[in-house]
């Protein structure tokens, strides 16, 4: 199955967008981070996968990249990534986990390192120039100059999650297959998972949650979004919609086997415009 994970945000031309090269946890894969697009592009053996990080995930990675090798406190990261609202430690933990997963670093934690009771640090050894065939005009101006981290009281140590054998396998797969593997695990690995299937026009939408009440709430909260998707779908498309922490995750499965992924923060759901949705549809 030909799977490509594409970013669902308007893209300026390559020549006008600065990026930062990052080595991933896989020897045959490297990443380019585009802060202006809130996007990571993973390159492996000539194949590219575009991952939409969302506003907070992108800002979090951007802040760590501003001071590689320097510990950035949890409070500073939360202030920078969620400047418009107050969030708890759980939101930060979830975003760090997601970034590590995308970068293939969820097991070794060598790229984004945890300093207990202090914060997080991006390992400068995983930064480097782009491969010669991918150098872009503004690559050297990837990020603004580093800013001094704001001193803050020592936060509690991060709570580590148990390592799942599924993730150990998924770390070896392309990102699109990882997403499908995680979804299959969520559907098949937990007998308490609830789902509801709804067809609206050309869109077949499957909602997934861990209980009946959250499932009903998911359907209610995303009704406006799914109605817009259905009105934009000119060809048949299967959608899988779920929610993890404060993030909505949408998988768009096309008839030709392509899969596209959109992840957006709960507070940004209304900001997902038709242009972004059309890029998910056939």
Dump pLDDT digits (tens) for 117-129. 889 999 998 987 6
Which ranges of 34-88 would DSSP assign to H, the alpha helix? 54-66, 74-81
pLDDT by residue (tens digit) across 115-164? 888 899 999 989 876 555 554 444 444 455 444 444 444 444 343 333 33
Residue 258 within any structural domain of the chain:
yes
pLDDT by residue (tens digit) across 215-246? 888 899 898 988 888 899 888 888 888 887 67
Residues 36 and 108 in one domain: yes
Residues 130 and 23 in one domain: yes
Domain count, the chain: 2
Q: Range of 136's domain? A: 14-141
Residue 184 within any structural domain of the chain:
no
Residue 157 within any structural domain of the chain:
no
d(CA 47, CA 40): 14
Residue 22 CA neighbour count, 13 Å, CB half = 31
Position 119 scores a pLDDT of 92
Residue 61 within any structural domain of the chain:
yes
Residues 47 and 129 in one domain: yes
d(CA 40, CA 142): 13
Residue 176 within any structural domain of the chain:
no
Residue 269 within any structural domain of the chain:
yes
Residue 241 within any structural domain of the chain:
yes
Q: Which residues contact 46 (CB under 8 A, 6 or more apart)?
A: none
Task: Give the CATH number, domain containing residue 102.
Answer: 1.10.10.10
Residues 102 and 209 in one domain: no
d(CA 51, CA 11): 13
d(CA 267, CA 254): 27
CB 208 within 8 Å of CB 192: no
- Average pLDDT in the 32-41 region? 89
Residues 226 and 114 in one domain: no
CB 251 within 8 Å of CB 240: yes
């Amino acid at each position: 199955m030909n799977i490509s994970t594409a970013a669902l945000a308007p893209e300026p031309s390559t020549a006008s967008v600065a990026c930062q090269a990052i080595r991933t946890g896989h020897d045959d894969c490297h990443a380019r981070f585009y802060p202006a697009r809130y996007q990571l592009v993973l390159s492996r053996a000539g194949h590219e996968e575009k991952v939409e990080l969302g506003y907070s995930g992108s800002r979090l990675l951007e802040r760590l990249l501003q001071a590689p090798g320097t510990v950035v406190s949890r409070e500073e990261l939360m202030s920078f990534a969620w400047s418009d609202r107050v969030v708890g430690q759980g939101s930060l933990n979830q975003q760090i986990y997601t970034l590590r997963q995308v970068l293939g670093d969820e097991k070794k934690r060598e790229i984004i390192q945890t300093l207990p009771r202090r914060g997080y640090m991006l390992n400068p050894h995983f930064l480097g120039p782009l491969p010669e065939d991918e150098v872009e005009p503004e690559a050297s101006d990837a990020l603004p100059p580093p800013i001094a981290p704001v001193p803050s009281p020592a936060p509690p140590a991060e709570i580590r999650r148990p390592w799942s054998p599924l993730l150990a396998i998924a770390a070896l797969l392309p990102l699109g297959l990882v997403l499908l593997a995680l979804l299959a695990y969520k559907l098949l690995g937990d007998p308490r998972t609830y789902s509801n299937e709804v067809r609206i026009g050309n869109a077949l939408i499957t909602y997934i949650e861990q209980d009946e009440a959250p499932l009903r709430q998911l359907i209610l909260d995303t009704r406006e979004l799914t109605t817009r998707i259905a009105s934009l779908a000119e060809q048949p498309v299967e959608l899988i919609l779920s929610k993890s922490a404060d993030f909505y995750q949408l998988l768009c499965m096309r008839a030709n086997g392509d899969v596209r992924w959109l992840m957006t923060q709960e507070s940004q759901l209304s900001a997902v415009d038709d242009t972004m949705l059309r890029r998910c549809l056939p």
